[in-house]
A and B are shown apart, each in its own frame.
Chain A
Amino acid sequence: MKIVILIPLLIIVGIVLVYTARHYLFTINRLFGRHRQPYVDIGTATWPSVVVFVPAHNEERVIAGVIEALLAVDYPAEQLVIMVVNDRSTDNTKAIVDDYTARFPRQVKAYHRTEGRPGKAAALGEACELAQGEVHLVFDADYLPGRGLIKQLVAPFFDPEVGVVMGRVVPLNVSRSLLTRLLDLERSGGYQVDQQARMNLGLLPQYGGTVGGVRRAALEAVGGWRADSLAEDTDMTYRLKLAGWEVVYQNRSECYEEVPENWPTRIRQIKRWARGHNQALVRYAGPLLRRPVHLRRMVVLDGLLLLGVFAVGPLLLIGWGLALSLYYLGFGLEESIMAILAITAYSTLGNFAAFFEVATAARLDGSRERIRLLPFLVFGFLVSMVSVTTGTIAQIVGAIRGHDHEWEKTERYRGTPAEPAPTRGAG
């Protein structure tokens, strides 16, 4: 009986240790490695035409902010179009957007969706068919791009092999609650260390669906946005990589966003991400394992580990369940020093790699005092692990019953509902 439980437990511990080694390797690379930030400093060039898509569903609180910020960027105005994709909003979003399109008819366009499949992927898919532009960038409605950001994100596309570019996301509302501070730490680890290390090592940085974009030719080559995708960003990353396009991460191209300020919103967000990631895992694990000739083995391994990142939560829970069973069966503690060693290694080295990564990132960011919140990340990990697991179970049950996924929007917090009369005068 013990061996039946021990073998799967050891497999899970093995998988966790692979992720642990990955965290250590990435963090050491970020600290000591040679950095790749291609073309980020180009200031003068023949800039390609760009369409910036802003998907918006009931975004009256924030939509004016992102349009204002995009109107203020230093990208040549004649080469830039802002297209707000108003996806079935029932609040004041349409009025605000229409006001901008009336005042800036050349720069701001609107695509109002009133029907069709819900979700960002479907909305982007329809809007892209109406847009020109060599490069399609995407910003979520709660983002505030800086003046030079568009140039930084477009510059890597001067390399004809680059199909998709991703910038760094930085939380804006950090000081609102413990959760926002913890999310800042997590985001910091994810971008400052994880994404940059994957970029440095020539692995697979992930396009995150915002603060980034795709080359239109690449998008068309892989058949455009998939309307049935639950995580259009992960989906696009893998389709482009499998098709031979390069993915670039620009750590210096920072953009502010709102992170969830309360736990229920965070739980919904995590569940949505888990469902999308799991869908991508099912779709692209096979093609990756067949390894197209242009992909190195390490890229395939990294791609698989990235796809499986949301499967680790359920695996960990299963692992703890198995460990508990072994405990009741009398394995370890009094009998075997090796069992104690394994448990110790599992609960220290395994988990500690993530702390190391986050602390390193926060230190590089100069948020040194925030690192003292490190122990509280355990609560975040616990909530994430349970949320990912319940989200995954719901997804599997839904798939068996044939239920379609219901799209959930992330709550916004900035200010009060905006008035449809923004500050900028007609240009």
Chain B
Amino acid sequence: MASPVTGKQPPAPSLAARERMVLNLAHRGVRGGVIEPHRSMLVLPEARRRLVTSSILALTFLVGVALSLGPLGRFWLLLVERAHESLGFASIVDVREFNLFGVLSFNLPVLGIQAAIPDGRTLLIATAITGAILLVTLALRGRLIPVAYFLRAMVVIQATAIFYFAVWGAHFPYRLPGFFVGLLTSGLLVIGLVPLLLGFTYYIYDVTWTKKIGLTAAILAHLAIFIPLQAMVIAYLIIHLSLVVMPVLFLMFGLVLDVMIFVAFYGWGMSWDGVLGEERRRR
């Protein structure tokens, strides 16, 4: 219809806009309310477009992460040096150069400090503490049962470590400097996996681009700060408690913790409303 003021015809809506209008009308009840589809029938429209755009965004972030490895290594060096000073480590912080597929090179900090192999007294104390934790788990009942299971998993790993050091102590294949770098490189791999995982499990959803980019940036930023500090805390504990705690710290508070941080962020992002939900409410 022409405008009564200007006499001009309004521009014809695009095909996509017309499709949205028809869809809108199709979901209207006789009184104008919105007929929501039953949850068993909800699907995401435009699968191909979503998969393509998700892949593009994931690849963009992946390239961004790869290009940031150099600055990230320098940032981690800075953090480690500061923490190193604060924790009073009697050593120097060195750097080790890494090369990614022969294309990208970057440096990671290395701690120049060794941790002691546990002696007999340390192993006895460790055994006593491990036994005490096991006894505590036997007292945990009701809603604390999952905590008991988690502590028992720790006890099992710690018991294997005590046994190993009691029998083959000197043959333990890891030393603190290499372990520290290992924690940082595995952390880098988690950071590299973040865009790929989100690409296939989050970007496909109907959340806005701002939210997708914001969530990715939040996870990457959090891990970028957390991973070197986590490595420093683990190193601090190993230096003061000896290598006997290295297995349990690596297996239960290393990579697994990083992944759980990602899962927590992912859960938070998945709880955000999507475009389709917002549109439905507006209707």
Contact = CB atoms under 8 A, between A and B. Distances in A.
B193 A328 contact: no
B271 A371 contact: yes
A177 B255 CA distance: 29
B173 interface: yes
B255 A24 contact: no
B145 A383 contact: yes
A364 B39 contact: yes
Contact of B264 (A31, A366, A374): A374
Contact of A352 (B178, B201, B274): B201
Contact of A375 (B173, B174, B182, B264): B264
Contacts of A372: 264, 267-268, 271
Interface string A321-363: 0001001111001100100110110011101100110011011
B143 interface: yes
A328 B271 CA distance: 41
B116 interface: no
Interface stretch (A32-40, A47-55, A92-100): A32-40
Contact of A379 (B47, B146, B271): B146
Interface residues of B, number: 56
B255 A344 contact: yes
B177 to A, nearest CB: 9
A362 B270 CA distance: 9
A32 B206 CA distance: 12
Contacts of A375: 260, 263-264, 267
Contact of B43 (A33, A327, A359): A33
B40 interface: yes
B164 A32 contact: no
B275 to A, nearest CB: 13
Contacts of A360: 270
Contacts of A35: 41, 43
Contact of B153 (A177, A251, A359, A382): A382
Chain B interface mostly helix, strand, loop or mixed?
Answer: helix
A374 B264 CA distance: 7
Contacts, number: 148
Interface residues of A, number: 60
A417 B77 CA distance: 66
A359 B174 contact: no
A262 interface: yes
Chain A interface mostly helix, strand, loop or mixed?
Answer: helix
A333 B260 contact: no
Interface string B144-178: 01110110010001001000100000001111001
A196 interface: yes
A341 B272 CA distance: 31
B123 to A, nearest CB: 15
B143 A179 contact: yes
A380 B38 CA distance: 29
A31 B179 contact: no
A369 B270 CA distance: 9
B153 A344 contact: no
Contacts of B274: 363
Interface of A: 24, 30-33, 35, 37, 168, 177-179, 192, 196, 251-252, 254, 262-264, 267, 324, 327-330, 333-334, 337, 340-341, 343-344, 347-349, 351-352, 355-356, 359-360, 362-366, 368-375, 378-380, 382-383, 386
Q: What are the 10 tightest A-B residue pairs by CB atom distance, in nearest-first order?
A: A330-B173, A374-B267, A379-B146, A334-B178, A32-B47, A251-B40, A263-B145, A252-B40, A333-B182, A359-B270
28 contacts: A31-B43, A31-B44, A32-B50, A33-B43, A37-B40, A177-B143, A251-B40, A252-B38, A263-B143, A333-B182, A333-B250, A334-B173, A337-B185, A340-B182, A348-B197, A348-B255, A352-B201, A352-B259, A352-B263, A355-B267, A359-B266, A366-B39, A368-B271, A368-B273, A372-B264, A374-B270, A379-B150, A383-B145
Given A37-B41, A365-B39, A383-B149, 16 more contacts: A33-B43, A251-B41, A262-B142, A328-B247, A334-B174, A334-B179, A337-B185, A344-B189, A348-B193, A348-B262, A359-B266, A374-B263, A374-B267, A375-B260, A382-B150, A383-B145
